[in-house]
Structure 1
Amino acid sequence: MNEGGSARESSNAWPDALRVAQVRIARPTDRLDEVVRFYVEGLGLRELDRFVDHAGYDGVMVGLPGAEYHLEFTTHVDGSPGAAPSAENLLVLYFESERHRDEVAGRLGAFGVEPVSAENPFWAANGGVTFPDPDGWRIVLMPRPVF
């Protein structure tokens, strides 16, 4: 803990031993156009970059403003390894308020995506709403940060 600061304040900084500039979570899909449409038009993330035919891969990066944290979706000419491994593979987005969570949930509903029950009851018990993307990977929309 920093002198005069709280443990929470000091936990918001990257550790000195891990000088990371960006974080990317990447996964394959056989439905690249559908997945990108879900995350950009449905969820509301921004398309940051894309590439075509890089060693047989096409890909799109989507994310939040600033591009320090983003998702990459790729497709390969030979196909992908398959669908989501379990219902517990989650992307959890924490909103500033229930109203902000509800706006996105409403947009996904208007987009034709129906919420599903979370496997872990923690999410629903704390106000989370879970949606599947076109590949079955799940997005949990939480009404507020937990810390």
Structure 2
Amino acid sequence: MTSLAAAHIRIARPTKDMDAAIRFWVQGFGMTLEGRKPSETGTLEELAFIGWPGGNWHLELVLDREITPAPSEEDLLVLYLEGPVEDQLLESIENAGGRRVSARNPYWDEHGVTIADPDGYLVVLSTRSWS
């Protein structure tokens, strides 16, 4: 059995605009669209899977008529970059629909940049390392 500490992670998030969400992650962050398909049941309209080849996690984007994205200021996806956030990356993310925002917790402003995605979910590009 795989150790839970080594398990891969899927993060599922609802979106109100699948094309905008895919553009944000693929064009902004350089992730890969691993799959996109219409649903065949219920209110779920479409699914998309986005990640990095060989990565330990990926995103599942969900478009559902009955679910509205409801992010809070503490719904954070933190990416630990172990160094400065490159201007080119920020420009790419902003050109793909992201916008810089101030974090609710000033720790994240001191140690990175917080970006809101097209649905309002927050991604922190942290200059810190994960240890």
Larger Rg over CA atoms: 1
After superposition, residues 89-100 of structure 1 pair within 5 angstroms as 89-98=75-84
1:106 matches 2:91: yes
Q: Which residue of 2 aligns with 1:60?
A: 48
What is the alpha-carbon root mean square deviation over aligned residues? Answer: 2.4
Q: TM-score, normalised by structure 1?
A: 0.75
Gaps of 5+ in 1: 1-14
After superposition, residues 31-110 of structure 1 pair within 5 angstroms as 31-55=17-41, 56-76=44-64, 79-98=65-84, 101-110=86-95
> Displacement, 1:48?
1.3
Q: Which residue of 2 aligns with 1:22?
A: 8
Q: TM-score, normalised by structure 2?
A: 0.83
Cα distance in 2 for partners of 1:110, 1:124 equals: 21
> What count of residue pairs does the alignment treat as equivalent?
129
> Displacement, 1:23?
1.5
> Displacement, 1:112?
5.2
> Displacement, 1:16?
6.1
Higher strand share: 2
1:121 matches 2:106: yes
Asked if the contact 1:42–1:111 (Cα under 8 Å) also holds between the matched residues in 2, the reply is yes
Secondary structure, in 3 states, of the residue corresponding to 1:66? Answer: coil
Cα distance in 2 for partners of 1:113, 1:85 equals: 15
Gaps of 5+ in 2: none
